[in-house]
A and B are shown apart, each in its own frame.
Chain A
Amino acid sequence: MKEVVDQGIKTQEIEVNFGPHHPSTHGVFRMVLTLDGENVRKVNPHVGYLHRGIEKLAEKRTYAQCVPFTDRLDYICSMTNNLAYVQTVEQLLDLEVPTRAEYIRVIVSELQRIINHCVFWATFGNDLGSQTALMYGFRDREMILDVFEELTGSRMTYSYMRIGGVAKDISDEQLKEIERIVDYMLDEALPEYHNLITGNEIFQARTKDIGILKPETAIDYGVTGPNLRASGVEYDVRKDQSYGIYDKFDFDVPTRDKGDTYSRYIVRLEEIEQSCLIIKQALNMIPEGKVQVKRVPKRPPDGSTYSSIESPKGELGFYLVSDGSKRPYRFRVRPPTFIHLMALEEMMIGEKVADAIVILGSIDIVLGEVDR
């Protein structure tokens, strides 16, 4: 939180409504800003415009039927949502997943991370007024969507993960196509991103030293993912509480010390690079075999479990309570971006209105996940 300097001039504060229908609130988020001229004095976020009651809906469905609902939480990265849920159910059932399925899961969820960060880059550029970035980011995302479309049948809501595996095996042509995309991302797309936006002096002036989130504050609020790593805390669920087969891969966790919007931006672009490297390793190591467990028990034993994954936006966790029936007794989502939104006030106060938009863009929210 920046110090508010009293300049000794009497001014009238105005309240401005940002959203729910505003060009750059990334959906239907609303914040009431109290402005003193161009400076932000107070932030009052309002959430809940996209509430669909997914947690309640899931209580009336069997464990397998809940998968399509997790797609609709964070609709930019459905794959990782599926994975987080399915993994929790597997933990509840104590189920072993075939190795090939594990590899496919790693490949698709890292592709999903690339998609998410492309979309982040695109919309962040748009928030700053560079509309060309929007098109370039979505162009590159489109290639991965085509692969996913062939694999799963849908472009955004995949429902690809199944309890005990994945829905469909991946073909060799698709693996080759993925390799091509990864090479394209590393050799052409990322340099272009850096040339167009990162190196731009206007961009750097707009983002550096803006919206600083100190590591202690970030930890207090429970911020995770790239936002936490940009503040200098090296915490990545893939490394620290390794799930799946992530311990087999060799990758770095990019961090920055400053915790400003520029750090959050650059950390995400570096994560694209690391994801590409993970996918390359996975493509070399992927074994043949089954992709799904033959028999999955319908009724998990009594009890509760929590498991989380490193979704592109942060730590996405599911907490399931089973009462021994076919349906979950309690279905609880720990959405990363909802928690990030709570730290908004810390970052925004004392900044300019234009920066408020940049800060909101930099924490990369998706309202489907915030409101659930």
Chain B
Amino acid sequence: MGALQNLFVNLALFFRESMVNIGFSQLGIEATMDLVAGIGVLAVIAISALVLIYVERKVAGFIQVRLGPNRVGPKGTCQTVADALKLVGKEDIIPDRVDKVPFMIAPILFFAPAVLAFAIIPFGENMIPIDMNIGIFYFIAVCSLSTIPIIMAGWSSNNKYSLLGAMRSLAQSLSYEIPLVFSILGVVMITGSLQMSDIVAAQSDMWFIVTQPIAFLIYLIAGAAETNRPPFDLPEGESELVAGYMTEYSGMRWALFFLAEYAHLFIVSAMATTLFLGGWHGPILPSYIWFLLKTGFMIFILIWVRWTFPRIRIDQLLSLGWKFLLPLSLLNILITGVVLYII
């Protein structure tokens, strides 16, 4: 069990030692290790996005009394691979009257924050890519970056649907960032640290969902809104705005948007696991398995919610954010502070 428990940690140690044996310089070793970690993170993102798309479609299928993808590969498991290949092979269409430079880099910039956020996620015991002492702060900063590419995409597309979608996205991000931060603040107050490893360690005997249930709910709602998941998918609300800021995109650029959306879904779920569900803590099974199980559960809840609820309207969304979630999160902080002071 111990070997499995530290599989990836030992793997990294083994690499490091073998490089020392070959006679690499200290700088070379660090550079190689960072490169390997970077590639590893990218692989995790790509694979998780592919798997998530398959899972989403399959769950949606089961909920909607149908089968979901079932043609390519056993039980349709290769469907997303086939779709991705198709999208890569498509012609890269850039409409005539778009603002070319922002149009072209927007999908790449949308993908970047997703990759950056993976740097601080504790995947398992001692398996955190970079354990920053301002981990949470970094996460919040990186997550709010994703609004700018959406505005870029919407503005440069030169399309009214895209513009409306981008404007909605801006309003949505502005109003949900604050409850999101405040909900995390409760956890930070209990832990007294912004470091991810400290937060996970603090939950070794009590998950924060028990002490901070309201914060968890606020985080879930605000997180769904941040990642434009239904019922908060107004920026791309299909029935009114066709596809919102993605209307003019096709082929690989569209696929990047799509992929990044699922990467964001993974990050929000992973952060929920880390902050409220005890991170990688769990009996018997290796830590990274526990982490994946909890994250998978969170993802299932988000998918389940998506395929159940109708879409909310923009003014209702804003009033929910400002008039309900914000006061509630402030109240939560107050209660947490009072309780901490008494104890």
Direct contact of A and B (CB under 8 A): yes
A132 to B234, CA, bound (A): 18
Cβ-defined contact, B164 with A38, below 8 A: yes
Cβ-defined contact, B242 with A22, below 8 A: yes
Cβ-defined contact, A197 with B310, below 8 A: yes
Interface residue A285 (Cβ < 8 Å from any Cβ of B)? no
Shortest CB-to-CB span from B321 to chain A, Å, is: 14
Interface residue A255 (Cβ < 8 Å from any Cβ of B)? no
Cβ-defined contact, B308 with A132, below 8 A: yes
Interface residue A202 (Cβ < 8 Å from any Cβ of B)? yes
On chain B, the residues within 8 Å of A357 by CB distance are 239-240
Question: Which one, B62-70, B98-106, B282-290, is touching chain A?
Answer: B62-70
| Residue in contact with B310 in the complex, picked from A16, A22, A24, A125, CB distance below 8 Å | A125
Considering the complex, which residues of chain B in the window 305-320 have a beta carbon less than 8 Å from any beta carbon of chain A? 307-316
A200 to B240, CA, bound (A): 20
Interface residue B123 (Cβ < 8 Å from any Cβ of A)? no
Shortest CB-to-CB span from A64 to chain B, Å, is: 41
Cβ-defined contact, B312 with A206, below 8 A: yes
Interface residue B233 (Cβ < 8 Å from any Cβ of A)? yes
Cβ-defined contact, B239 with A205, below 8 A: no
Interface residue A356 (Cβ < 8 Å from any Cβ of B)? yes
| Closest A residue by C-beta to B243 | A23
| Residue in contact with B240 in the complex, picked from A125, A139, A197, A353, CB distance below 8 Å | A353
Cβ-defined contact, B310 with A14, below 8 A: no
Cβ-defined contact, A202 with B238, below 8 A: no
Cβ-defined contact, B242 with A23, below 8 A: yes
Interface residue A237 (Cβ < 8 Å from any Cβ of B)? no
Considering the complex, which residues of chain B in the window 56-84 have a beta carbon less than 8 Å from any beta carbon of chain A? 60, 63-66
Shortest CB-to-CB span from B143 to chain A, Å, is: 24
| Residue in contact with B237 in the complex, picked from A135, A197, A354, CB distance below 8 Å | A354
B306-341 interface bits toward A, Cβ cutoff 8 Å, 1 = contact, 0 = none: 011111111110000000000000000000000000
A24 to B237, CA, bound (A): 11
Cβ-defined contact, B307 with A126, below 8 A: no
A127 to B311, CA, bound (A): 9
Shortest CB-to-CB span from A348 to chain B, Å, is: 13
Cβ-defined contact, B314 with A200, below 8 A: no
Cβ-defined contact, B313 with A196, below 8 A: no
A123-151 interface bits toward B, Cβ cutoff 8 Å, 1 = contact, 0 = none: 00111111111111001000000000000
A200 to B230, CA, bound (A): 15
| Closest A residue by C-beta to B307 | A132
Cβ-defined contact, B240 with A132, below 8 A: no
Interface residue A355 (Cβ < 8 Å from any Cβ of B)? yes
Interface residue B118 (Cβ < 8 Å from any Cβ of A)? no
Shortest CB-to-CB span from B162 to chain A, Å, is: 11
On chain B, the residues within 8 Å of A200 by CB distance are 309-310
Interface residue A352 (Cβ < 8 Å from any Cβ of B)? yes
Cβ-defined contact, B313 with A24, below 8 A: no
Interface residue A246 (Cβ < 8 Å from any Cβ of B)? no
| B60, B164, B239, B315, most chain A CB atoms within 10 A | B239
When A132-B64, A205-B316 are in contact, do A24 and B239 touch as well, CB less than 8 Å? yes
Cβ-defined contact, A202 with B64, below 8 A: no
On chain B, the residues within 8 Å of A354 by CB distance are 234, 237, 239-240, 311, 313-314
Interface residue A306 (Cβ < 8 Å from any Cβ of B)? no
Shortest CB-to-CB span from A233 to chain B, Å, is: 28
On chain B, the residues within 8 Å of A203 by CB distance are 310
Interface residue B161 (Cβ < 8 Å from any Cβ of A)? yes
Cβ-defined contact, B240 with A128, below 8 A: no
Cβ-defined contact, A202 with B231, below 8 A: yes
| A129, A135, A353, most chain B CB atoms within 10 A | A129
Interface residue B86 (Cβ < 8 Å from any Cβ of A)? no
A14 to B310, CA, bound (A): 27
A76 to B312, CA, bound (A): 29
| Closest A residue by C-beta to B168 | A38
| Residue in contact with A132 in the complex, picked from B63, B239, B315, CB distance below 8 Å | B63
Cβ-defined contact, A352 with B310, below 8 A: no
| Closest B residue by C-beta to A37 | B167
Cβ-defined contact, B231 with A129, below 8 A: yes
Shortest CB-to-CB span from B315 to chain A, Å, is: 7
When A128-B310, A132-B308, A354-B314 are in contact, do A14 and B160 touch as well, CB less than 8 Å? yes
When A131-B64, A136-B65, A202-B231 are in contact, do A23 and B239 touch as well, CB less than 8 Å? yes
Cβ-defined contact, A205 with B242, below 8 A: no
Shortest CB-to-CB span from A311 to chain B, Å, is: 26
Shortest CB-to-CB span from B240 to chain A, Å, is: 5
| Closest B residue by C-beta to A22 | B242
A22 to B240, CA, bound (A): 8
| Residue in contact with A196 in the complex, picked from B160, B230, B308, B316, CB distance below 8 Å | B308
A134 to B239, CA, bound (A): 13
On chain B, the residues within 8 Å of A129 by CB distance are 230-231, 233, 237-239, 309-311
A194-232 interface bits toward B, Cβ cutoff 8 Å, 1 = contact, 0 = none: 001100101101100000000000000000000000000
Considering the complex, which residues of chain B in the window 128-146 have a beta carbon less than 8 Å from any beta carbon of chain A? none
| Closest B residue by C-beta to A207 | B310
Cβ-defined contact, B314 with A38, below 8 A: yes
A130 to B305, CA, bound (A): 10
A355 to B234, CA, bound (A): 13
A17 to B255, CA, bound (A): 26
Cβ-defined contact, B65 with A139, below 8 A: yes
Cβ-defined contact, B313 with A352, below 8 A: yes
Shortest CB-to-CB span from A370 to chain B, Å, is: 20
On chain A, the residues within 8 Å of B231 by CB distance are 129, 202
B210-240 interface bits toward A, Cβ cutoff 8 Å, 1 = contact, 0 = none: 0000000000000000000011011001111
On chain B, the residues within 8 Å of A14 by CB distance are 160
On chain B, the residues within 8 Å of A355 by CB distance are 313
Cβ-defined contact, A128 with B315, below 8 A: no
Binding site for B on A (CB under 8 A): 14, 16, 22-24, 35, 38, 125-136, 139, 196-197, 200, 202-203, 205-206, 352-357
Given contacts A129-B231, A129-B309, A132-B63, 13 further A-B contacts (CB under 8 A): A24-B239, A38-B315, A129-B237, A129-B239, A130-B308, A130-B309, A131-B307, A197-B310, A202-B310, A352-B314, A354-B234, A354-B237, A356-B240
| 29 residue pairs from A and B, CB less than 8 Å apart | A16-B161, A22-B242, A23-B238, A23-B239, A23-B242, A38-B314, A125-B310, A126-B239, A127-B239, A128-B310, A129-B233, A129-B238, A130-B311, A131-B60, A132-B60, A132-B64, A135-B64, A202-B231, A202-B309, A205-B316, A206-B311, A206-B313, A206-B316, A353-B164, A353-B241, A354-B237, A354-B311, A354-B314, A355-B313
> What 3 pairs between A and B have smallest CB-CB spacing?
A129-B311, A128-B310, A135-B64
